[in-house]
A = this chain, B = another copy of it.
Amino acid sequence: MARALAKKAETSTTLLEAAKKVLRQSGHSGLSTRDVAAAAGVPLSQIHYHFGSKQGLMLALFDYLNAQLLDRQNAMFHDSTLTLSQRWDRACDYLDEDISSGYVRVLQELIAASWSDPEVAKVVRAGLMGWFELIAGVARQAERELGGLGPFSTAEIAALIGGAFIGGESLYLLGAEKKGAPVRQALRRVGDAIRSAEAKSSTR
């Protein structure tokens, strides 16, 4: 039994990794269960056995990926030795990592899929809300350290930053940077702005 369960989990993760690979290459609309099964090297019917449906596979994939990312992000934000600007720079580093690893493509595809699928939307929304709360927590830190956030509440800051990153990812995937829109560079600059706010606040 234990062995059987181990085998089951193994096949599941093999399928999830394959799904990630196919999603990265072909997008959500170009993803077929046959492609995933072929990439995983298992028969087609295994997908329906383990996940019930194509949608079930997508849902499981989002949980699988988001858990990994949130773990990493939580570790970073709980490191209290970091200043705000250092955290921001680190977030930008992570964005670069996630782009080259293919995470960004997969997550954006799942977000886009959720526009048409309420079930997927529910899961993706719940996952993203974890991010917003994380950012809002840092915003509270910023409020204390920098002395106020102007007209913004912490929830609004979180929505703004989250939106800027999501939009930046979308634009990167579109290839906007190759046409002269310095998307990631602009996000990095925000770190500079935070740095000067920190300097001003510390010499106050």
**Contacts of A137 on B, CB cut-off 8 Å?**
none
Residues of A at the B interface (CB closer than 8 Å) are: 26-30, 105, 108-109, 111-116, 121, 124-126, 128-129, 132, 150-153, 155-160, 162-171, 173-176, 179-183, 185-187, 189-190, 192-193, 196
Q: Contact: A159 with B185, CB < 8 Å? A: yes
23 A-B interface contacts by CB (under 8 A):
A29-B29, A105-B115, A109-B115, A114-B174, A115-B173, A121-B175, A124-B174, A125-B179, A126-B179, A128-B174, A129-B180, A150-B192, A151-B189, A151-B192, A155-B182, A156-B189, A160-B164, A160-B187, A162-B167, A163-B186, A164-B167, A166-B166, A167-B167
Q: Contact: B167 with A182, CB < 8 Å? A: no
Q: With the chains together, A109 CA to B116 CA distance in Å? A: 10
Task: Look across to chain B and name the residue whose beta carbon is closest to the beta carbon of A126.
Answer: B179
